[in-house]
Amino acid sequence: MTLQKKDAVEVFAAGEKGRGLRTTKEMQAGEVVFTEASFAAVVFDSLYLQVCHNCFRRQANPHRCAQCKFAYYCDRTCQRAAWDEHKLECAAIRQQGRAPSENVRLAARTLWRMQRHTSKVSDGQLTTLDLLEDHISDMAPEDLKELQVDVQKFLEYWPRKSKQFGVEYISHIFGVIKCNGFTVSDQKGLQAVGVGIFPNLCLVNHDCWPNCTVILNHGNQTALDAALHSQRRIELRALGNIAEGEELTVSYVDFLNVSKDRQQLLKQQYYFHCKCEHCSKGIKDDLMMAVKEKDGKKPSAELVKEVTDFSVQKLAKIEEARTAGNFHEVIKICHECLEKQEPVLADTHLYLLRVLRIASEVLSYLQIFQEAAEYARRMMEGYRKLYHPNNAQLGMATMRAGVIHWHAGLIEAGHGMICKAYAILMITHGPHHPMTKDLESMRTQTEMELRLFKENEHVYHSMREAVLSSKPIGGGKVQ
């Protein structure tokens, strides 16, 4: 599905941001502004063996394309559904004897799609790829070099029989992919598995405090009939009420960075200087760097510097230990950090929140749920003061914290968090998303357990022990 006539959006000139998208009618929180199928998408190089090249689900025993031996699918249904998109790619991979990198594969899929349909695919598409920004003139020399290598690899891969494009146009496509490529996640939105191009979405400008969020919803892939398989598609959803004529925005970066860091990230990756209200006024920067006041007295500047420098250094060590799988070392450094941070940094300080997040994740992985729950609770208190109340990341973090509390036997708090997460995801993900459905069943389950707990605490705990000894509740959801 691409943009339909009924979709209430239009393209407009958004000043120095270039083109933008705005509404033509009032929208409510949770409303789907538009949905869009990918113009083209590919699975990451690192996951090509594990993720279905059609529906982007993870598969334990995928079915391999017998011809190119590169593409993998859930089953023959997915393979059939993907054939149109894969046919020319399959021949090109066989010809070359191996598959090129994800960028080259995406550029090729994009150009084959254009060859099949011209670049504007349907009435619902508001822009052609030709009109999208490539930012080649803004690129740093090393980015430009990478792009030229990709173009070279593309030329080696692109079949003679396919329509021929000039180097300049091919470079444009790579530029578009670099600054507009959208990360595609698996069915539940938990892991990034590929990258795709969604032209209408490219028209939605960035704001660090946006009025919309974008979510992948692959729809029903279990249908046996390939024709019923919906394509990889995104939904743009309103986070709050949006007035008629208001510009639609999404955030390209996580809000939990101070404005100058967000601006730097955006400059590096997307080549623009963010002048959104939150960046220009530095809104919430003070909270993200706040120090603890005791009896109206703040810690000295030297002490704050010492603790923040210490935190930066230790966070790098934590990352190292985590990558190495040395989880007990991670916990040890987290404890060290928290001990230093607690008397000095406020509960909304980003460095404190980062340590709390890692500590709660790793402890719950190690099944030390009581302590994990304590850190998760404190982290959520900070998050709630910083994030927009309907931020998708806040929703996901609330869900994880709820599950940790549930595992720790803190059923009342756990149920409360799961309900809160559910309310957020109803807006950011909608009622049909697999994650919302998971939350719905968790909500029912914890509600039942909570009732039992209130009736008879003893029975509740013995039931829980029985359940835990057979299998962990909601196992695997936390990590």
Tell whether residue 68 is a contact of Zn ion (CB under 5 A): yes
List binders of Zn ion among 256-295 (CB under 5 A). 274, 276, 279
Smallest distance from Zn ion to CB 245, Å: 22
Smallest distance from Zn ion to CB 53, Å: 8
Q: CA 438 to CA 446: how far, in whole Å?
A: 12
Complex with Zn ion: residue 119 or 251, whichever CB lies closer: 251
Complex with Zn ion: residue 206 or 461, whichever CB lies closer: 206
Complex with Zn ion: residue 229 or 314, whichever CB lies closer: 229
Q: Work out which of 3, 37, 90, 426 binds Zn ion, going by CB under 5 A.
A: 90
What does each C-alpha distance from 452 to 413, 446, 447, 458, 465 come to in angstroms? 15, 10, 9, 9, 14
Tell whether residue 54 is a contact of Zn ion (CB under 5 A): yes
Complex with Zn ion: residue 254 or 412, whichever CB lies closer: 254
Q: Work out which of 52, 147, 212, 356 binds Zn ion, going by CB under 5 A.
A: 52
Q: By the 8 A CB rule, do 115 and 162 touch?
A: yes
Nearest to 205 by CA among 258, 139, 273, 136: 273
Q: Work out which of 74, 108, 373, 392 binds Zn ion, going by CB under 5 A.
A: 74
For 345-411, give the DSSP string. Answer: B-TT-HHHHHHHHHHHHHHHHTT-HHHHHHHHHHHHHHHHHHS-TT-HHHHHHHHHHHHHHHHTT-H
Q: Tell me, what DSSP letter sits at residue 62? A: P
Site size with Zn ion, rule: CB under 5 A: 14
What does each C-alpha distance from 163 to 28, 119, 159, 465 come to in angstroms? 45, 13, 8, 65
Tell whether residue 51 is a contact of Zn ion (CB under 5 A): no
List binders of Zn ion among 177-216 (CB under 5 A). 208
Q: CA 404 to CA 368: how far, in whole Å?
A: 9
Mention every residue, 6+ apart, whose C-beta is less than 8 A from residue 142.
none
Complex with Zn ion: residue 25 or 87, whichever CB lies closer: 87
Smallest distance from Zn ion to CB 15, Å: 15
How many CB atoms are closer than 10 A to CB 142?
A: 8
Smallest distance from Zn ion to CB 251, Å: 8
Q: CA 454 to CA 448: how far, in whole Å?
A: 10
Complex with Zn ion: residue 68 or 201, whichever CB lies closer: 68
Tell whether residue 67 is a contact of Zn ion (CB under 5 A): yes
Smallest distance from Zn ion to CB 235, Å: 20
Complex with Zn ion: residue 170 or 266, whichever CB lies closer: 266
Smallest distance from Zn ion to CB 76, Å: 10
Residue 143 CB-density burial (10 A; 0-12 exposed, 13-18 middle, 19+ buried): middle
CA dihedral 1, 201, 108, 70 (to 10 degrees): -70
Smallest distance from Zn ion to CB 67, Å: 5
What does each C-alpha distance from 246 to 14, 35, 210, 320 come to in angstroms? 11, 19, 12, 44
What does the longest C-alpha to C-alpha distance in the chain come to? 77
Smallest distance from Zn ion to CB 10, Å: 24
Smallest distance from Zn ion to CB 102, Å: 16
Strands 233-238 and 212-216: antiparallel
Q: Work out which of 71, 193, 363, 396 binds Zn ion, going by CB under 5 A.
A: 71
Complex with Zn ion: residue 83 or 327, whichever CB lies closer: 83
Complex with Zn ion: residue 90 or 352, whichever CB lies closer: 90
Query: Could you list the residues that contact Zn ion (CB under 5 A)?
Result: 52, 54-55, 65, 67-68, 71, 74, 78, 90, 208, 274, 276, 279
